[in-house]
Chain A
Amino acid sequence: MTRVTDQSSYRRRRFIAGALGLGAFGAFSALRYGDSVSVANETDQDSTSKSDGDILLFEDTGERLTTKHAATHYNNAYEFGWDKTDPYQKSGGFELKPWQVTFDGLCAKPGTFDLDDLMGMPFSHLEERVYDFRCVEAWSMAIPYNGRPLRDILQVVEPLGSARYVAFTSVLRPEQMPGQASAFSTLDWPYVEALTIEEAMHPLTFATFGVYGDQTLPQNGMPFRVTVPWKYGFKSPKFIVRMTFTETRPEATWHLENPREYGWYSNVYPDISHPRWSQATERRIWSEGEVERIPSRLYNGYTNEVAHLYPGDRQQYR
């Protein structure tokens, strides 16, 4: 049983097929490149220049830094979206002030503190430290952080002897953070992360109030984050509003999402196979377009300082 289609309806169908093809191409382009085109038109007003010194050195030590432009235009902050450009593109409406952090759980002096109290000194007096930010996606950047050791803050609220972990909760503001409102994301908000109390009290663990001397960069987790330099980047929570001392091990957002790929400890272990990204080498991003492949280091280079925290088989601390 064959139905004969006449010539005119074939002509119509050709037209429809062509239109569908063009429509698919147009929809694809708009969805995939629409954002970047609109951003490219605005780049001129950007405060950081792409070529802010092709080689940037840290004044104190002379070591090389990633340029501020690169470190502020290529970020993971799923609160703003999954794309690396979402955090700077979509954080314009994020309110940095006022900011308060609540301390609760197993501590003698729980309470809520303003950001200035946590800093305990003028921003310009804070210590500046260069850490290699090592993402689990196997790229890294050398970034100057402004802050103070987290332990100095934690000691004020006097954690109890029974406190074995610290849980960090990030801010929940779907109206200012489009990634939190996304229908296509499977992450649970707000973001939570956690450290053991020994990790949190380690002098390298850095309460961070700015990067590059700049407090106004939500794409880098400001106004308040914690930086843990020997772990993959997602273990350094951003936009923190709560710290809770617990006896049992708290949940962590990425670990909940996929425990095989995001270990609870997530120390930088270049020799342990990772199901998604080989961790043997990393791509060091120095500036826009300048990427260098370098070997990764055990504990991101801090073996002497932190290896004692992880006795026994390292597999359990991945």
Chain B
Amino acid sequence: MIRTLVHLTLAVPPFVLGLAWQRQALGVDPQKALILESGIWTFNLLLLVLALPLAARWAGWPQLLRYRRAVGLWVFAYATAHFTFFLSFYLGWDIARLAEEIAERPYVLLGFAAWLVLMLLASTSTRRAIRWLGRNWKRLHTGVYLVLAFASVHYLLMIRSEWAWPVSYAVIALVLLVVRLRRVVRPQG
């Protein structure tokens, strides 16, 4: 019941975006709008996924953790949409061009690497994979912090002169990372 509600809620941003696209409400260049919006919402969800355990611990709310995997899978879905828009609008599905982009442009490399890690995490999120991986599953899935680091730098590299948005996201990411590291150093703190 609640799980359905979680999925429905997380489906709202892509639904609104899709509706705006279909109704031609994304402005003169909807391609660019789709790429930017899918990117920022991937980041939003990524922050949410990492904030959930903090809230669960601080507010004594372990139920929140049940939905972490659902949110995580949505992060992958959003990221896939972001990547698909880039491939389609900017590269016209020219895979040779993609290789060139990855080799020559660090922000593409970081975005692509983040997506690969997310794919690995998503594909090991089935019940069977979790059982099979055992303790290694947890270790593997701390890789989400790698995604966070890649995403932060990916966004920072977008800066041309206006820095407010990317820097804000990088600061939030850094805070989440520090909080997490402190817990590793002092596990009961």
User: At the interface, yes or no: A2 with Cβ under 8 Å from chain B?
Assistant: yes
Q: Which of A58-96 contact B (CB under 8 A)?
A: 69-70, 73-74, 78, 82, 84-85
B160 and A10 within 8 A (CB): no
In the bound complex, CA of A82 to CA of B160 (Å): 9
Q: Given contacts A16-B59, A184-B163, A257-B161, is CB(A278)–CB(B100) below 8 Å?
A: yes
User: At the interface, yes or no: B28 with Cβ under 8 Å from chain A?
Assistant: yes
Q: Given contacts A10-B60, A184-B163, A187-B161, is CB(A2)–CB(B40) below 8 Å?
A: no
A291 to chain B, nearest CB (A): 5
B89 and A289 within 8 A (CB): no
User: At the interface, yes or no: B164 with Cβ under 8 Å from chain A?
Assistant: yes
What does the 1/0 interface line of A175-204 toward B look like (CB < 8 Å)?
000000010111100000000000000000
Specify which of A74, A273, A280, A289 lies most central, judged by the most chain B CB atoms within 10 Å of its CB: A289
Q: Which of A31-61 contact B (CB under 8 A)?
A: 32, 36, 40, 50
For B100, what are the chain A residues with a Cβ–Cβ distance below 8 Å? 278
B162 and A14 within 8 A (CB): no
Residue of A nearest to B107 (CB): A276
Partner of A258, one of B89, B92, B97, B160: B160
| Segment at the interface with A among B19-27, B120-128, B134-142, B148-156 | B19-27
User: At the interface, yes or no: B66 with Cβ under 8 Å from chain A?
Assistant: no
> How many residue pairs bridge A and B at CB < 8 Å?
89
Interface size classification for chain B: 20 to 34
For B161, what are the chain A residues with a Cβ–Cβ distance below 8 Å? 78, 82, 185-187, 257
For A5, what are the chain B residues with a Cβ–Cβ distance below 8 Å? 60
Q: Which of B27-65 contact A (CB under 8 A)?
A: 27-32, 40, 44, 48, 51, 55, 58-61
User: At the interface, yes or no: A17 with Cβ under 8 Å from chain B?
Assistant: yes
In the bound complex, CA of A283 to CA of B88 (Å): 12
For B89, what are the chain A residues with a Cβ–Cβ distance below 8 Å? 283, 291, 293
Which residues from chain B sit less than 8 Å from chain A, CB to CB?
Answer: 24-32, 40, 44, 48, 51, 55, 58-61, 89-90, 92, 97, 100-101, 104-105, 107, 160-164, 188
Interface CB pairs A-B, < 8 A, 27: A2-B188, A10-B59, A14-B59, A14-B61, A16-B59, A17-B55, A21-B48, A21-B55, A36-B27, A40-B25, A50-B24, A70-B28, A74-B29, A82-B160, A184-B164, A186-B161, A186-B163, A258-B160, A273-B104, A275-B105, A276-B107, A278-B100, A283-B29, A288-B24, A289-B24, A293-B89, A293-B92
